[in-house]
Amino acid sequence: MIEGIQSTTAGLLSAALSAVSLRQQLIATNIANVDVDGYVPQTVNFDAYMRNARMELQDRGAVDESTLQEMVSAPPPIALETAANGMPAKVQLDMQVAAMAENTLRYQALLKGLSHHFSLMSLAVNDGKR
C-alpha cells in the first residue's frame, strides 16, 4: 500500500514541478525578448492541462501509476498570450517579473511538499524510530 501512496504522491509532485519549471523557462524567455519587435509572449496553458487530467481521471475512475506516467510524459500545452482585443499581446516587463516571483513561490512550496513527503516515507520505513 505504501508503494501506491508513494508513487502517486511523488508522481503528482513531479508533474507539478515539471509544469512550474516549464513556466519559469517561458517567463525567462519572455523577459529576454522584451525589446524584440513582433515577439509574442508565451505561457503555459494550465487550464487545458488540468482539463485533460480531469478527463483522464473520470475515464479511468482513479489515478494510478500508468496515468501519472502519461501525464508527466506529456508536457503542459504552451499558448501565446493575447490582449483583451484578441490580438497578440506585447511583453509587459512588470507583469512578467511579477509572474516569475509568483512562480518561484509555487516552486518552493512544491519542493517543500516533496521534502515533507519523503521525510514521512522515511519515518514510515524506519517504523517511527529516529
* Rounded to 5°, angle at Cα 36 from 83 and 103: 60
Write down the domain spans for the chain. Answer: 2-125
74 Cβ partners below 8 Å, 6+ apart? 52
> What share of the chain in percent tops pLDDT 70?
79
pLDDT at residue 3, rounded to an integer: 55
| pLDDT > 90? residue 6 | no
Alpha helices in 1-130, H assignment, sequence order:
2-32, 46-60, 65-73, 93-125
**Average pLDDT rounded to a whole number, residues 32-49:** 86
Neighbours of 53 (CB within 10 A): 19
Q: What is the pLDDT confidence band of residue 5, given thresholds at 50, 70 and 90?
A: low
CA torsion through residues 61, 65, 66, 67, sign: positive
Cβ contact 91:29 at 8 Å: no
pTM for the model stands at: 0.74
